[in-house]
Copies of this chain bind each other. A is one copy, B any other.
Amino acid sequence: MESAVSVLVSQFKAHAGSDGSPDTLSRDEFHKLVKSELPNFVKNADDPAVVDQLMSSLDNDSDGELSFLEFWQLIGHLASKHGGFSQ
């Protein structure tokens, strides 16, 4: 379990580090991450409007960037759906 968590942290950092703040995802970084890392979990991952809407719903403080914990909420909901847990 710890190694799977490390993988998620590393992949988040790899994307978050492409531009601007190294610890948060910009809109562009988020689009690339969803498209490349979550193509099966996120429906219409290649539709910019879908991904923009998803990002707005996660960006609790509306600063235009996703922190790790904001991003984590998404993964939790996708994981919960994937696992068939009641939401």
Contact = CB atoms under 8 A, between A and B. Distances in A.
Q: How many copies does the complex hold?
A: 2
A23 B69 contact: no
Interface residues of A, number: 34
A5 interface: yes
B38 A2 contact: yes
A41 to B, nearest CB: 6
Interface in A30-87: 33, 37-41, 67-69, 72-73, 75-80, 82-83, 85-87
A5 B82 contact: yes
Interface of A: 1-2, 4-9, 11-13, 23, 33, 37-41, 67-69, 72-73, 75-80, 82-83, 85-87
